[in-house]
């Protein structure tokens, strides 16, 4: 019989409590998700809808590249097995992956095998597959104009109710083909295997494929084929307009680095889009289109910066009513990273671009993201470190020096890092980095690295019950009770620095009492390993 311990409320009020949990505050040694042998690469991060995150990556620890994953809570505690949980086991190497959370709160994970097939599977929050088998979305097929031999390049995904849209590149003999498809919540393909062919036999190669919601059940589709093209299709897959060459007015972009092209887009406030790029003349430009694909500004392209020196790369982020373009600039008197703010008319908002950082001109890939309070955080790589700087809306910077992450090690591999803005003005990230002859996956939390405080909500519970395991009372003064309807094989208690303060290997107990009188007051994490996996629960010692 389940024992229910609900004996009123104990209210513990924490004003501002800095918790270090599993997150690392050492920027040179962020949180390692895997120390498994051989290479881990191409991390993807999504929300778990409960202030935590799921991270998935490619992993060759077994000799074949499979997909592994980890579930982390807000405090950085890793909720799945150490070194990650095997999600997709493949007979041949997997080359790329992507993931989204659907409207049911389930995970849609897509991956492809080189020269073979693009798959998708739906998982619950414990990574249990919910379809009997993965759905084969696209791959080798001779029914189109060109014979496809398999997917190549990035997989774009966009949530569509309980299912999703996907866009991808299928390669034939010397030609790339852009297609998009629709997957229902039950794994079916209403548009059929391979989906709808959008671009047939492009000799230029197709990259930078992205999908964006149009707010009406359809999607906007972006791709790069020498120029950046934009189009729109409805919920039935019908093309409403396209293809529009967004940056044709400047002869395209000014460069690319390891397939990272100097162009980015952000939605405006009227269901249209604003794009920014460094042009073929090495200047910085922007343009805007409405939801019908018509250019809004006259002339179509507005300069953000026209300068005789070389501007390269770009990060472009929307915050509030402003759009922030960031680039690296090789001007002789003050080379480094610069930023300019524009409004939705393309008019610059600062008299001069602000000087974000004086740094190495070797900055292969730069990204930016807006926090929940509207600040802009710029991430960039140099020859010696990976760094971040926060910029406020008035153009001032938050930190006297950039936060250096992974200093002294090989930096994230080009574009292989992703950023996630949390609800508390924080940014966390996940990156592939190389140490010695192997690549690993690390995560970083800017609040921990920068020394900002973490606010903990008051605790108002007396018992934690999860998967038929109870830990009570909570808060605890001396004796902690553990009661389970399934055997528990290991009990571990960690402090908020991740240090183990108690560990016991049991032989499958169903109940246990622990004497915690000697344990200092504070917040701890209890890890209980049972037949169904590992449960993580927060515990307060009063």
pLDDT for 141 beyond 70: no
Identify the residue with better confidence: 462 or 238: 238
pTM value is 0.80
Q: Delimit the domains of the chain by residue range.
A: 251-405, 467-541
CATH superfamily of 251-405: TolB, C-terminal domain (2.120.10.30)
Quote the CA–CA distance of 65 and 59 in Å, as a whole number. Answer: 5
pLDDT over 90 percentage in the chain:
50
pLDDT for 13 beyond 50: no
| Least reliable range by pLDDT among 75-79, 451-455, 474-478 | 451-455
Quote the CA–CA distance of 340 and 378 in Å, as a whole number. Answer: 13
Q: What is the mean pLDDT of residues 506-514?
A: 84
Identify the residue with better confidence: 9 or 89: 89
| Least reliable range by pLDDT among 8-22, 30-44, 192-206 | 8-22
- pLDDT per position as a tens digit, 146-188: 567 778 778 999 999 999 999 999 887 667 889 999 999 999 9
- pLDDT per position as a tens digit, 348-378: 999 999 988 876 656 668 899 999 999 999 9
Half-sphere exposure (Cβ direction) of 482: Cα atoms closer than 13 Å:
28
- pLDDT per position as a tens digit, 390-424: 999 889 999 888 888 887 666 676 778 899 999 88
Q: What is the mean pLDDT of residues 186-210?
A: 87
Among candidates 265, 299, 304, which has minimal Cα distance to 282?
304
Q: What is the mean pLDDT of residues 315-337?
A: 91
Burial of 57 (0-12, 13-18, 19+ CB in 10 A): buried
Quote the CA–CA distance of 162 and 186 in Å, as a whole number. Answer: 8
| Least reliable range by pLDDT among 18-22, 183-187, 248-252, 466-470 | 18-22
Cα 68 to Cα 36, 93, 247, distances in angstroms? 11, 13, 38
Quote the CA–CA distance of 247 and 252 in Å, as a whole number. Answer: 5
Quote the CA–CA distance of 52 and 143 in Å, as a whole number. Answer: 44
Task: Assign 388 a pLDDT band (cuts: 50, 70, 90).
Answer: very high
Looking at residue 211, its pLDDT comes to 97
Peptide bond into 104 cis (omega under 30): no
Looking at residue 272, its pLDDT comes to 95
Looking at residue 258, its pLDDT comes to 61
Looking at residue 458, its pLDDT comes to 34
Q: What is the mean pLDDT of residues 179-199?
A: 95
Residue written as token pair 């992507």: 98
| Least reliable range by pLDDT among 58-62, 74-78, 163-167 | 74-78
Tell me which CATH code domain 467-541 carries.
2.60.40.3080
Quote the CA–CA distance of 224 and 207 in Å, as a whole number. Answer: 5
pLDDT for 534 beyond 90: no
Quote the CA–CA distance of 534 and 126 in Å, as a whole number. Answer: 11
Looking at residue 311, its pLDDT comes to 86
Rounded to the nearest 5 degrees, what angle is found at the Cα of 374, between the Cα atoms of 372 and 376?
A: 105
- pLDDT per position as a tens digit, 216-225: 999 999 999 8
Looking at residue 293, its pLDDT comes to 96
Looking at residue 3, its pLDDT comes to 28
Distance of alpha carbon 409 from its chain centroid, rounded?
A: 22
Identify the residue with better confidence: 523 or 126: 126
Looking at residue 215, its pLDDT comes to 92
| Least reliable range by pLDDT among 16-20, 257-261, 310-314, 537-541 | 16-20
Half-sphere exposure (Cβ direction) of 157: Cα atoms closer than 13 Å:
27
pLDDT for 133 beyond 90: yes
| Least reliable range by pLDDT among 157-171, 285-299, 523-537 | 523-537
Q: Are 325 and 265 in contact (CB under 8 A)?
A: no
């Amino acid at each position: 019989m389940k024992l229910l311990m609900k004996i009123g409320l104990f209210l513990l009020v924490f004003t501002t409590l800095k918790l270090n949990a599993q997150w690392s505050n050492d920027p040179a040694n962020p949180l390692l998700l895997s120390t498994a042998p051989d290479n881990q690469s191409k991390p993807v991060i999504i929300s778990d809808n409960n202030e935590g995150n799921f991270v998935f990556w490619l992993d060759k620890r077994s000799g074949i590249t499979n997909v592994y994953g980890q579930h982390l809570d807000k405090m950085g505690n890793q909720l799945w097995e150490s070194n990650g949980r095997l999600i997709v086991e493949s007979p041949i190497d997997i080359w790329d992956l992507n993931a989204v959370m659907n409207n049911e709160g389930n995970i849609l994970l897509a991956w492809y095998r080189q020269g073979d097939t693009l798959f998708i599977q739906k998982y619950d929050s414990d990574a249990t597959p919910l379809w009997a088998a993965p759905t084969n979305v696209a791959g080798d097929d001779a029914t189109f104009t060109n014979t496809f031999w398999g997917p190549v390049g990035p997989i774009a995904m966009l949530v569509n109710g309980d299912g999703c849209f996907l866009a991808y590149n299928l390669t034939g003999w010397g030609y790339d083909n852009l297609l998009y498809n629709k997957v229902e919540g039950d794994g079916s393909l209403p548009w059929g295997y391979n989906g709808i062919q959008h671009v047939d036999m492009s000799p230029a190669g197709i990259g930078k494929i992205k999908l964006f919601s149009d707010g009406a059940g359809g999607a906007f589709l972006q791709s790069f084929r020498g120029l950046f093209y934009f189009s729109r299709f409805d919920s039935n897959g019908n093309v409403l307009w396209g293809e529009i060459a967004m940056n044709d007015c400047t002869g395209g972009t000014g460069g690319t680095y390891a397939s990272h092209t100097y162009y980015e887009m952000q939605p405006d406030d009227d269901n249209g889009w604003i794009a920014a790029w460094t042009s073929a003349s090495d200047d910085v430009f922007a343009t805007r289109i409405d939801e019908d694909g018509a250019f809004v500004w006259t002339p179509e392209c507005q300069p953000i910066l026209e300068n005789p020196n070389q501007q390269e790369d770009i990060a472009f982020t929307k915050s509030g009513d402003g759009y922030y373009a960031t680039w690296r600039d090789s001007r002789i008197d003050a080379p480094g990273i610069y930023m300019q703010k524009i409004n939705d008319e393309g008019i610059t908002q600062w008299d001069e671009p602000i000087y974000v950082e004086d740094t190495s001109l070797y900055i292969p890939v730069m990204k930016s993201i807006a926090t929940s309070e509207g600040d802009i955080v710029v991430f960039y790589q140099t020859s010696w470190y990976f760094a971040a700087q926060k910029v406020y809306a008035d153009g001032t910077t938050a930190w006297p020096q950039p936060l250096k992450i992974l200093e002294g090690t090989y930096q994230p591999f080009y574009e292989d890092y992703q950023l996630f803005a949390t609800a508390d003005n924080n940014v966390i990230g996940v990156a592939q980095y190389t140490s010695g002859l192997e690549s690993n996956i690390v995560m970083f939390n800017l609040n921990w690295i920068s020394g900002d405080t973490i606010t903990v909500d008051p605790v108002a519970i007396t018992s934690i019950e999860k998967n038929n395991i109870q830990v009570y009372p909570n808060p605890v003064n001396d004796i902690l009770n553990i009661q389970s309807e399934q055997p528990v094989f290991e009990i571990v208690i960690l402090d908020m620095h991740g240090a183990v303060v108690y560990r016991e290997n049991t032989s499958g107990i169903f109940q246990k009492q622990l004497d915690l009188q000697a344990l200092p007051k504070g917040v701890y994490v209890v890890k209980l390993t049972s037949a169904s996996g590992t449960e993580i629960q927060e515990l307060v010692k009063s």
